[in-house]
Structure 1
Amino acid sequence: MLQAFPTLEAEKMNRNITSWFQIPAASFSLFMFLSITIWIPFYDRVLVPFLAKFTHEPRGFNPKIQMGAGMILSIIAMVVSAIMETIRRDLANTNTPVDMSAMWLVPQFVLLGLT
């Protein structure tokens, strides 16, 4: 589901970055992988040592708080996704591209990468 639907969604949107470059629709899930790549070292090297000083837990937060934060971020990502899809569908006709930048899909991918 994560691979197919965003591709179909981005395919109908304006993916032009410049007049000569257009991001391929299947490349939008890379934003999620980029956010994972940035988040994991930041969390491990910066956030955990900082939180360990205050919580006296060796991994920053205990596992229940970590799971709860992941669930909240997942909920926020799905809400953002639902809002963007509602706006996109309101603007869309059946076969014509939507005059909406596909970059509006990036926040939901970044939030999914943080979960």
Structure 2
Amino acid sequence: MSSGIRMPAVSKAQHMGFDSNEPEQSRGLQAVLTAEGISTETLWLQYVSLGGSLADVEVDAYVQGALSIPSLQRDILAVAANELSEGHGSAHAPYADELLGSASPENPVSP
């Protein structure tokens, strides 16, 4: 039975609430994984070797855009993805500080 209260629709971007750049950082990570054919399992193993503290299911949920994680953990995931893709192509997972501030040639920010 419904209480009559309607909850507003919430997008994935609204669920990711640590900062406004988190969805963009997640999409950038997803792009590298797809372009380089890196599995989330391989990413997670590299991430843990760098000191990451999330479980494999949490990393998978973040990559799918279903979980919000702290900036430090996002950056460790970006380092892991960038290390795994090094030398294979031009794909680059963005770091949180690359997405902060205003757009410039050195610090591009997508709308």
Determine which structure has greater relative contact order: mean sequence separation of CA pairs < 8 Å that are 6+ residues apart, divided by chain length. 1
Which structure's CA Rg is the greater one? 1
- What TM-score does the superposition give when structure 1 sets the normalisation length? 0.26
Q: Which has the higher helix share?
A: 1
- What TM-score does the superposition give when structure 2 sets the normalisation length? 0.27
